[in-house]
Each structure stands twice: as structure tokens, then as C-alpha cells.
Structure 1
């Protein structure tokens, strides 16, 4: 069996039946146990430990700023005024970094351990990894002993062919081989039971992986959020369809059970948000898509390991048979390792549910970093240093972003960095594309610009590496023509929601260039919230033709902004990172731009 045929499913020396019956026919009749079957008269059992990671995003070096902090009851730091974590008096740790991740993994491993992932291990990565198409991160995951992972939406950033190249090997078709030579591929596969090829409905990725440990088989089923087409560029998901997660997993679960694989784990790149600032091993989830999946999966599934929402939690949900099922997520950027211990009955070959114990271990930096991993990372730092350390401009003060700020900060409709990026994109698309306004998706702004030097470049100096951390996607700048009526409809697709219980705000407001102003009234019904749209101070009419700049993710309808797809006269320009670099060079020193382009009524 080969990877190409999606049936390379090693079981530590034992062969597993291929997936032909699964891919060609309908699901087998359910062999799910009745409530309590897992714990009835357990016989001799064996221990299994799962260590899980998710949403690493190629963060080989320790993340900085707010991305480095995690709430931790045992943390060495106290947020006295709430400015760091959002809650005064909270204990937290500075966490993450591959060398610390490796050190903690060594401490947590025993003879019964398997390391697995829940997606977004690569993609949206810092320059150190992204410059070489995430080969440095994929190779390190191999070194750390990863046995399998679900695909995440960011694994599709460069398309299915590139994801297959990462798994199977070969040099990049455009950029060629990295300084390490020909890429050999990974020893682990990404899984996607709900990722199908358009047209024939075949699996685009292996749907499951089976591993034997201590004489018992553990089946892993991989899923990625079905919203992937809305959050990845059109080119990234070309030729693929993403089906509903529960139905796809249950089909595979029944197949595995029919073929004797009773201990089953779902790795799903979808999760829930949480009530902010909680113990990472508690269960403060606000039920959403993650809980829907965790509760809906066939009772044969014993554990659900999630990702995507960048939160840390350890929960128990009821499966359809009324049994407790553990459901977890381990933060992001390598800041936590989820540890799940359980026993498998050798007679029934099933997980003894009452034996399952899970917790999130914070990847603190109070341990000695792993020397081999540090040496490995230094090699890649040396390789990318010439590009990363090149100064591109200066700033006069910190310029903040929307990502990972305190809960109070996220109630602002725009931020200086979001507005700055929109200004840079407008300037880069004026002459060739005739752009009049530019709009930036806040989720694409991944890190702040800080005034204090990060190395030896000096305070206020912005390097290419720092700029790349802000926008790591290499999206293409594009311009389309929208009417004034369509522009209003586009802005109406923005989201502003307040949780009635927690008061937490979820919003998706596009960051506007300085040429665009408008009012967004959250007290009015959806569809009637946007008014007083002006371009350079002049009111917009419904029939007016407006040239609107945005990255190709948005122009392709990403983040649910489908009105962009109705635009006419498409023009493509530079990469978004190049637009930002050019703007910084032309306008340095750059001060944080004043916000207020959106008048928010709430």
C-alpha cells in the first residue's frame, strides 16, 4: 500500500485492512457500544499515554509578546493590573518555543507514549519556517516523534499538492530545494476524513491511521473544520470539498470497528472558544462547533482532541450513548502539551472510559531547553538571517494589532496596525489597480510591531523578519470594482456579537484605509448597521463604481465576505508583505496611525 493510494496505514508491524471498502461503498452498520459497555467486567489492561499538540504554526523560536503568555495557576508571574492577561491578579507563565517543547516532551514521555497533533502545525508561520515552505518545522516534528495529525486549514495554504509534497518529499516546484538539500518528506501523514476530491469523491488525504502499542491498536481519525473554504484562499482549496465533520468521522469509525479497531481517537481541527482567563486544565468552553462535534460523534469514539480556536481546555461531554467522553485542546504556538492517560482492555480491545485522565501541561521556559533542538533551530536561523535581519524602516512607538490582545482591547473596531496595513495596501495598488480604498482582514494581522529592539537592530527599527511575522501568508494584493450598494452589502457582512452571559465580544470588522470612513451601528438589526459611507470625505452613492483593494484571500470570499466575489475588473498586484515593506521604507519613521475611521455605535 502507498501513500498515494491513501492506504499506507502502518500498525507497528501488523497490516491493517485497506480502505477500499470505505472509499468505494457506504458505511458499515454501526457497531457502537451501548452505554457502559466500555467498563463492563474489564479484563487485563495495558496503559497508553497520548501527548498532543495543536496550532504550532511553525513557531520554532519562542513566541514573544502576548503570544508567549498563558494562564497558569502554577505560573511564576502575576498580572497585577490585568494589562497582560485581561484579569488582575491572574497567574501566568511565559511559554512556548520548540526547544522547550522538546524538553517538556522528554519529561512527559514514557514507554507507552504516542505524540499526535490536531492541525495547523505548519502554515501562517514565522519567517524562519515559512521561508523554506515549513520544511524546518515538518522535519522537527519528525525528530520529536509525531506519529500523525489531522490536517488544519492552514495546512492547505499552498494547496493539496504542496501538502502532499511535505508528506512525500521532493523540492519545491518553484523555489527548488532548501539549503538542507532535497526534501525527504515526513514519516507521519496528515489525516482528513472529511476532505474529498471534487468530482469523484475520493479521499484527498488518508482518513485514518492505526498504531499498535502495548499489543493493542489505537485508531486515529482526522478531521478539519468544514469552514476551511471560507478561511483559506480559493487556490489553496482548489479541487477539494470539505464535508460535515461528524458524518465523515462516523463513517470511518464504523469501518474501523468492523475491522477490529475498537480504541478510537478523533483528531479534529475545530474547537470552542472559552470564558477568558481560566486554568488550562479546566473546562470553561462556550459551546460551539467543537462541542457539537465532540458530542455528536459515534459512541465508539473514545476521545476527541481538538484545535483551531487556540484555546486550552480539558472537558468531558456526553456521547450519544450517554457515556462520558474526554474532549481537549492545548492552546497554540507550542505553549501547552495535552497529556491523556488511559487503559485499553486487552480482551475487548477498547478504551476503559473510567480510566481516562487528561490535563494540559504548560510548556514553561523554566526548564533547560533541549540542546539538540536548539542546535537544529540555530542552523535554520543562520540560513535565514540575511533576509530576516534586513531593516525595512522605523516606527516611533509600539503599533498594536487585534490578535491575542486582552479582552478589553478586542472591543475596539479597529487598531493602529490594521489601519496601517490597509494604508500600505492602498498605496501599493493605486497606480496599477486604480484603488480608492483598501480593506484588511483582522485575522491576517498575526503579531504587533514593537518599538523595543528584538535583537541588535536598535529600538524602533523594523526588520523584514518582524514584518513577516505581522503578515506571514504571502497573499497577493488584488483590486476589484464594487458599486456603492455592493460596498455597503460587503460591510454589512461584518460581525459584531456580544455573549449575553460572559460579555465577550466576537467581531470581524475589516480594517479600512484612511480614505474610507463609515458608521457601524450594533444596535440595529443585521443588514441595516452600516451608514454614512464616505471616500475621502465624499458620500458614496449606490451606483458609484469604486475600486477596492484587498488580499486575494478576501477577494476570493474568505472570512465570509462573499460580496467580494461579485467584483468586476480584477487586477492583481504585489504580495501583501511587499506592499507593507515598500510603505515602511517610503514613510519611515512611521507613527501609529490614528483610529476612528469606523464610528462604532453600541
Structure 2
């Protein structure tokens, strides 16, 4: 039964009295104080950001094989790594609400047939699907030329091959940036995705910066937001690009120094009021072998100088807070001092999709700057011991099925392994065979007497097993993926000698793989420029004043890999693609045995 109004009134009076009494007691009782409220914790004045970085993917949609698909982990164990379905799975695990995914170039170019057959559209689509938002260009992004790179960025079907089986290309979902790539004769900015950011800068200030640094051929910078906080990215590619890309691939372009161009990008970001700055640079260092991917195992160059990546990391504008690198296909995490003497992290994550670099940092809400003390990096190996990303696995299988008829076609056979393992002279069985194939393809109409092959253009071994020596088109393509033209030029005997001397310099050794028709002696104890002697062609001594027809791919003939003497050649003749020369030789001479590696004699 409900209480009466009289009862409720009495209870209210008693309760009010008790409250009043306790209040008096709290105030008047000696030694008794009210419990103070705990202070409010200070508001976090920073924004957390996580970057997941990938470099030198090279279109490895399928898990890479052999040594290209293995990685030494933090415990020193060698584990299988890589593959698009595992990249996607690991990125899902590593992502949070504060994540941006970035890359450092060579995402395409020098790719397996599954990607290359369709001008790398499958790889670019995958990278967009997995969430890459911005990438610097690498030298291999220029393999098919600046025009093709623009098509990859903007969209549209390939001008020769037309649309892929997936239909008209829609363009990359991520931005390519390159602050040190300029137009040779440019007066206006090209119409490319990402270039619109420069329109936000005061016209007079932008004009002044362009006059100082050059007219960008690509967007130099990109800006992204995380939780309302801006972070800026500057892109740059190795300064050696003109010497390692065919001349046609970079026609109309010039490449500035990375350090100076990074300053250009930093100033552009400052004009936009962006103080959190990250350099994505396609340049790096060599490392000591067998080390943890999280160690700082970088080594000096052969001449004792700091590696190109370390030099950039130490000299780049001090406004840049973090440097993520690529190009050398190594994994490391290092700290350098910037020009102002402050520590700055610098890292790289291997190659072929075997490592994802996880970067965690904080950006101050008040200043907009990265707190460098908050920056941490972990190189996570993309192991294959977790469930693959199902949707990505299906995507890869679709493209594998599309290219299967071409890839599985036999083109010849071999009697034993053909590899890139070098002898003391620098020769390899596979490289020598390729040189023989190139000579066979060019000695008729081109009049070639010798052929020379650059070792960096031999991209995979040809194993005898598991197919009993059968070589498929896909396997041959993996060896020679660049689709370079075979060319022949005339050199004097003196020029040929000078060309061969260029194989050894203070900073590198790059032995050109010779056809069987060329023999000579290399005395490595002699000074640079005086190491080659006894040059013979088909057993006949070369006359310094005589003329000789020399075959090589168009990359070398254009002076690639710093073999500048090639550019002195005359009477240029162009023939078949290098891959076609290779497959034709295998077909005509099968079964092919490993050739001798006695063409260069060490003195």
C-alpha cells in the first residue's frame, strides 16, 4: 500500500534534517575535510599516425620463388615471404584507424609475366585495392617511358595492345610523386592526378620555386589527413635513373639531385602550412648479409664513402622528419643526424613484397609537427604462415588463368641448371648463353661480331628441375623481362678496349657477359683503366684502329649502367627484342647445355 501524504511529509522532514546535520558536521567538526575531486587528466595534444610502407614490389603478385621469396627474420631464421594475398592479409592485421599506406617506388617494371603481359595494370590495381595512397616513382616506373607512366596514372587503354581482359584501364588509385623529376623544356605543369595540389600555393611563390628548381614532370608532393591532422609526403627517385633506364624511357625528362629536390618538396609543403614531412625516396644502401631486418646493417660503398641512401638521409632538409627508402632491395632501420644535428630515422623494407615497414608516430595538434621521439619502425616480414587474403588470392588466380596459355608454352630445353652464379672472372652460365643468343640474332642483318650482356638484366635462373629441363615462355620471360631491343653499333678497337675498362671503377664492378666470339685477359691487380689486354674476336687480335660490330640491348647502347663508350658507336642497327632473341635461340638449339665460362682470363 502507498504511504499517506502525512507519512511522506514526515520522512522528507527527517531526511532534510539529516542532510543538514551532516553538512554542519563536515564544516564544523575539527580535523574533518571534504574529499577533493581528482584532477582531470590532460588532453592528449597529439594525433597518432601509423604508416605501412612497401618498396620495390616489382609486380610479384604470386609468391616469389627461390632466394627472391625468402627473408632472414629477427631471430636469424630464413623464412618464406611475399605474395599479394599475404601482403593484403598482413596489412589487414597491421592496420588501425590511424593508418596510411605508402610506397617507395619500383612497384612496377621488371615484373613477372602475370603482370608484365598486361603492362602492369594488375599490379597497380592490386596496390590500389590494398590501400596504397601515395608512392614515389622508382627508376623502373620509367621502363616503358614517361608517356606510359602518365597512362598508368591517368587511365586509358594501352596505345598498341589496347585494353586488357579486365577492360579499359581506369588509372591508379594512388598518387605517384617525384620532386626531382623535371621537364627538360617545360613551361607549364602537366595535367596529371595529384598535380592539383600545387594550385593551392600562391602563384607568385610557386613561380619563384619553379624558376629555382625546375618544372615538375610529376606531382612533387602529396598531403594526406589522419584524424584531421595533415601529413606531407615528398617523392624522389635515384639520381642514377638516366644511366639505368633506356634513353627512350626518360626522353624529355631531367633528374635533379635528391637532396636539393627534397628541399624543393619541403618548401612546397611549408607553403601549404604542412609541417609533418616524410621523404619517400627510391634510393638506398647495401647491407651486411644475414642480419635482422630491424637492425642497422648498412655498409659503405666500395670506395669507403657512405651509401647513397645514408648520405641522403643525413643531408636532406632538416624540416623532413622521417625518410623511407628503396631501390637497393635491402631491409634495415637506422638513425642518422640531420643537418641540424637532430636524430632522424631512416629505413627500407627489402623487396618483392617480402617486408612491410610499420611506422608509428605522433603529430602535435598545436604545432602540426612530428614528434621525432615518438617515431618507431618495425620491419614486419610478410610470412606465409597466416591465412591468405581470400579476395586477393582470387584476384591473383584470375590473372594467372588469363596469362596461362602464354606462360606455359614450351620454347626449348636445357641439359642442366643455368644460373646467375658468378665465377671469379665475373661470368655466369646463363649470362654467357644470353650473349650467345644475342649474337645469333644480330650477326646476320646487323653484322654483329660480338655481343655483350649486362648482368643486371638477367633477372632469374633457369633450373633443370622440376620439369626435366623444359623451358617455358614464362620462365624465359622471368629471365629477360625488360623487352629491350637488340641493337648493333660500330666501335673501334680502341673504343672496345675503353668500354671493357669501364667494367671496373672505384665504386663498382659490373662485368659484361661476353659471347663466345670475344675473349680477353683481365688483370685486376692493375690500376683502373689498365686492366684489359689480349682482346680477340674469333681468335684474332683486335686492332685499336680497326672497326668492329658490337651487339647489346638498347639499354646498354644508350650508355646504361655507366657504359658511356657505347654512346660513341656509329651505324646503329636495331633488331628483335632481347626476349625474342633468347627464346629463338633456345628453340633452335635445344637441348642447350651450360656454356663454358672461360671467355675472360684472369691475369
TM over 0.5: yes
Q: Is the 8 A contact 1:428 1:579 kept in 2?
A: yes
Aligned to 1:13: none
Correspondence 1:320 to 2:336: no
Residue 389 (1) aligns with residue 389 (2): no
In structure 2, the partner of 1:556 is 558
Q: CA deviation at 1:522?
A: 1.5
* SS of residue paired to 1:428: helix
The answer to whether the aligner puts 1:346 opposite 2:365 as a matched pair is yes
Q: CA deviation at 1:488?
A: 0.2
Q: Which residue of 1 aligns with 2:475?
A: 466
Match of 2:3 in 1: none
| Equivalent in 285, 293, 296 of residue 280 of structure 1 | 293
CA gap of 1:410–1:326, structure 2 versus 1, over 3 A, is: farther
TM-superposition CA deviations, 1:482-540 (whole Å, max 9, x none): 11100000001112669xxxxxxx52100000110111122111110111111111111
- The within-5 A match list for 1:235-384 is 235-286=248-299, 287-384=306-403
Match of 2:599 among 585, 597, 600: 597
Deviates further, 387-396 or 589-598: 589-598
- Which residue is equivalent to 2:217? 204
Partner of 1:156: 142
Q: Distance in 2 between matches of 1:395 and 1:520?
A: 30
Is 1:145 aligned to residue 131 of structure 2? yes
**Which residue of structure 1 aligns with residue 192 of structure 2?**
none
Equivalents in 2 of 1:180, 1:412: separation in Å? 47
Give the match's secondary structure for 1:107: helix
3-state SS of 1:359 partner: strand
Q: Is the 8 A contact 1:117 1:267 kept in 2?
A: yes
Distance in 2 (alpha carbons) for counterparts of 1:487 and 1:331: 37
1:160-187 CA distance string (max 9 Å, x none):
1100100100000111111111000012
Say whether the 8 Å CA contact 2:74–2:294 is kept in structure 1: no
- Following TM superposition, by how much is the alpha carbon of 1:42 offset from its aligned partner in structure 2, in angstroms? 11
- C-alpha contact 1:496 1:522 (8 A) present in aligned 2: no
Q: In the alignment, does 2:166 pair up with 1:180? A: yes
Partners of 1:251 and 1:235 lie apart in 2 by 27
The answer (yes or no) to whether the contact 1:194–1:207 under 8 Å persists in 2 is yes
CA contact (8 A) 1:100 1:364 kept: yes
Distance 1:370 1:320, change over 3 A: same
Corresponding position of 1:531:
533
Q: Which residue of 2 aligns with 1:10?
A: none
Cα deviation digits, residues 280-305 of structure 1 (max 9, x gap) = 11011123111111111111101000
Does the aligned pair in 2 maintain the 1:43–1:347 contact within 8 Å? no
- Give the secondary structure class of the aligned counterpart of 2:223: strand
Deviation, 1:258, is: 3.6
- Aligned counterpart for 1:491 among listed residues 457, 475, 500: 500
How far did residue 472 of structure 1 move?
0.3
Q: 1:412 to 1:542 in 2, by over 3 A?
A: closer
Q: How far apart, CA to CA, are the structure 2 residues paired with 1:57 and 1:412?
A: 30
Supply the distance in 2 between the matched residues of 1:487 and 1:477 (Cα, whole angstroms).
Answer: 18
In structure 2, relative to structure 1, the CA distance for the partners of 1:214 and 1:596 (3 Å cut) is: same
Aligned residue pair count: 529
Question: What corresponds to 1:126 in structure 2?
Answer: 112
Q: CA deviation at 1:598?
A: 1.1
Partners of 2:271 and 2:409 lie apart in 1 by 58
- After TM superposition, the runs of 4+ consecutive aligned structure 1 residues lying more than 4 A away are 409-412
Q: What secondary structure is seen at the aligned counterpart in 2 of 1:384?
A: helix
Cα RMSD (Å) of the superposition?
Answer: 1.4
Q: Are residue 479 (structure 1) and residue 498 (structure 2) matched?
A: no
Q: Does 1:165 align with 2:151?
A: yes
Alignment partners' CA distance in 1, 2:224 and 2:441 = 51
Equivalent residues of 2:425, 2:600 under 8 A apart: no
Question: What secondary structure sits across from 1:250 in the alignment?
Answer: helix
Q: Aligned partners of 1:91, 1:329: CA distance in 2, in Å?
A: 19
SS in structure 2 of the partner of residue 570 of structure 1: strand
| Structure 2 equivalent of residue 576 of structure 1 | 578
Deviation at 1:68, TM superposition (A): 1.1
CA–CA distance in 1 between the matches of 2:428 and 2:181? 36
Q: Secondary structure at the match of 1:51?
A: strand
- C-alpha separation between the residues in 2 aligned to 1:276 and 1:61? 25
**Contact kept? 2:176, 2:219, Cα under 8 Å:** yes
C-alpha distance after superposition, 1:395-423 (max 9, x if no partner) = 11111115xxxxxx585511000000000
- Kept after mapping to 2: 8 A contact 1:73/1:92: no
Is the contact between residue 125 and residue 173 of structure 2 (CA under 8 Å) also seen in structure 1? no
Instruction: Give the Cα separation in 2 of the matches to 1:91 and 1:479.
Output: 47
Gaps of 5+ in 2: 1-41, 187-213, 300-305
CA contact (8 A) 1:433 1:572 kept: yes
Partners of 2:125 and 2:268 lie apart in 1 by 32
Q: Aligned-pair distance for 1:452?
A: 1.2
Alignment of 1:445-464 (within 5 A): 445-453=458-466, 458-464=467-473
Q: State the Cα distance separating 1:275 from its structure 2 match.
A: 1.6
Report the Cα offset of residue 254 of structure 1: 2.2
Which residues of structure 1 form unaligned runs of 5+?
1-40, 75-89, 403-408, 499-505
1:226, CA displacement in angstroms?
Answer: 1.2
Deviation readout 1:29-81 (Å, 9 max, x if unpaired)? xxxxxxxxxxxx9971111110101101111111111111111134xxxxxxx
Between structures 1 and 2, the one with greater helix share: 2
Counterpart CA distance in 1 for 2:458 and 2:540 is 29
Q: Distance in 2 between matches of 1:546 and 1:71?
A: 47
Q: Per-residue deviation at 1:571?
A: 0.6
Cα distance in 2, alignment partners of residues 599 and 43 from structure 1: 69
Call closer, same or farther: CA 1:411–1:63 in 2, change over 3 Å: farther
- Aligned pairs (5 A) from 1:19-98: 44-74=45-75, 91-98=77-84
CA–CA distance in structure 1, aligned partners of residues 393 and 271 of structure 2: 45
